[in-house]
Chain A
Amino acid sequence: MPLDRRIYLDWNATGPVHPEVADVILPFLTSRFGNPSAPYVLGRDAFDAVEQSRRQTALLLGCAPKQLVFTSGGTEANNLALKGAFFSGAAAGRRHLVISAVEHPSVLATCEWLRQQHGADLTQVPVDSTGRVDPEQVAAAFRSDTLLVSVMHANNETGTLQPVGAIAELARRHGVLSHVDGVQAAGRVAVDVSAIGCDLYSVSAHKFGGMKGAGALYVRDASGLEWAQQGGRQEHGLRAGTENVPGIVALGKAAEVALRDLDANRAACLRTRAVFDDLARKIPMTRMNGHPTERLPNTTNLCCLYADAFSVVLALSVQGVCVGLGSACASHAQEPSRVLRAMGLSNVAALCSIRVSTGPTTSLQDAEFVAHLLQETVERVRLVTSPEQIGVCDDDCPCFTGGTIGVE
């Protein structure tokens, strides 16, 4: 099937560049190619475009433009936030970091690296069966040497939204810095970093209509951070390296469009999400992983017990439909999702879970077509891969849950 005939339902992985964004990028690839650090007209033009993007992105996040540092994406923003805070705070003897058990690998792996290479102490706070962190449990993890807490705004696999405002408030009371990985939330739900009260907030452009390779980190007060990347004086001296001008321009325009269309996009996504949420009722032995209400408007994570997710995803792919596996699953290896295991799913339930994430342009007709195809595919895969005598699992069946993975 030609690539442009596919039905794409993996918007949490990435999405297309918005047409209005695509229109503004082109000159920056051809005629307006200056280096923003250069003093002549072409350089000033690029500089002005970067600053325009900073203003547009600041409006999306509810902050001052000067509080934004452009990065190569969400992963770099998360790295900068965590390493920048740690290398500054560790000198004062504060080496304890607190994260949730469902953070993105760019947060977890960075914290693990700081633990193994630089003597950080790490606490992972568990989540409930919907994937939510209890702010009180986060506060209970704080110690006198706690430097920073990092809890994501929305989970990439389940879409579950975290009480980031309450966590930031508790962190502030305890004198702890708070970082929010907002990669999945920004552009999809209303974000106001001032209202949240966090110190650091990461975003990625390609999740809301921008290009891959551009993102930003909101920094409430840059004086408390040690910057890991050395070089030129770009980004107020906070992030060295020639700016990715086309990517940054795209980020700004995408932020403007996402803010303008936020309510309409949310309504459109909720309509198509409802079709997939409904499958938890329609397909036997199936349930939705995630919070019933506090969830991204575009994300449904479904556990279709005894229908191996990899088989289902590939079977749909052959028929032109793209849906996601849990992000922990590599292309050639089946490993249960760490996020779903942390929510209490058994190994088998986690390996039978798929993620459907829609976008503003997903049509109801396509959603209904895929829902029907998914139902048929699950039945086929179950028939061929299920043990012969498995019976029927109800919602309380131990097949769904097998205890949580160990978190400190």
Chain B
Amino acid sequence: MSSEAARQPVELLLIRSEPPCRRCQDTVAVLQAVAEALPGRVTVRVVSTEDAECARYGAVLTPMVVVNGKIACAGTVPVRSGLERLVAAELAR
């Protein structure tokens, strides 16, 4: 791992429904748990489907999780262990 890469936290972006549905709320909890397990190395950002930023992802099925700009899942709550492995892979890049 390069030192430059090590300084770049992995961004977990959640696109949630407006108002947030139950699955979006569950997804927030999963993302926060992943971030808390890796202090300073993961950021969590939440935007709603009302946000203009959503347009770049096309049709949105919530909850949608985007990891460092790449869609990881849409319409389903991510599995925490899988998301942790994906984050680890991103940190190792």
Contacts and interface: CB of A to CB of B under 8 A. Distances in A.
A242 interface: no
30 contacts: A308-B73, A308-B75, A310-B61, A310-B75, A311-B71, A311-B72, A311-B73, A311-B74, A311-B75, A314-B57, A314-B71, A314-B74, A317-B58, A318-B57, A318-B66, A318-B69, A334-B61, A377-B70, A380-B67, A380-B70, A380-B72, A381-B71, A381-B73, A382-B82, A383-B72, A383-B83, A384-B78, A385-B78, A388-B79, A388-B82
A315 B72 CA distance: 7
For chain A, the bracket of interface size reads 20 to 34
B79 A314 contact: no
Contacts of A387: 79
Interface in A201-235: none
B56 interface: yes
Contact of B71 (A315, A331, A332, A386): A315
Interface in B61-93: 61, 64-67, 69-76, 78-79, 81-83, 85-86
A383 B82 contact: yes
Given A308-B75, A385-B79, A388-B79, A332 B86 contact: no
Contacts of A385: 72-73, 76, 78-79, 82
B74 to A, nearest CB: 4
A175 to B, nearest CB: 47
Interface residues of B, number: 25
B10 to A, nearest CB: 13
B22 to A, nearest CB: 17
Nearest to B85: A383
B59 interface: yes
A382 B79 CA distance: 10
How would you classify the secondary structure of chain B's contact residues: helix, strand, loop or mixed? mixed
Contacts of A388: 79, 81-82
Contacts of A314: 57-61, 64, 71, 74
Interface in A343-398: 377, 380-388
A380 B86 contact: yes
A319 B75 CA distance: 19
Contacts of A382: 82
Give the interface centre of A334, A380, A382 by most chain B CB atoms within 10 Å. A380
Given A315-B71, A384-B73, A331 B78 contact: no
B70 A318 contact: yes
Contacts of A331: 59
B86 A334 contact: no
Contacts of A383: 72, 82-83, 85-86
A315 B75 contact: no
B82 A384 contact: yes
A385 B79 CA distance: 6
B15 to A, nearest CB: 10
Contacts of B74: 308, 310-311, 314
B79 A334 contact: no
Contacts of B61: 310, 314, 332, 334
B80 to A, nearest CB: 9
A334 B75 contact: yes
Interface string B10-28: 0000000000000000000
Contact of A384 (B57, B59, B75, B86): B86
A310 B58 CA distance: 11
Given A311-B71, A380-B72, A384-B78, A318 B56 contact: yes
Given A380-B67, A388-B82, 13 more contacts: A310-B74, A311-B76, A315-B72, A318-B66, A331-B59, A332-B59, A334-B61, A380-B70, A381-B72, A382-B82, A383-B86, A384-B82, A387-B79
Contacts of A380: 67, 70, 72, 86
A101 to B, nearest CB: 27
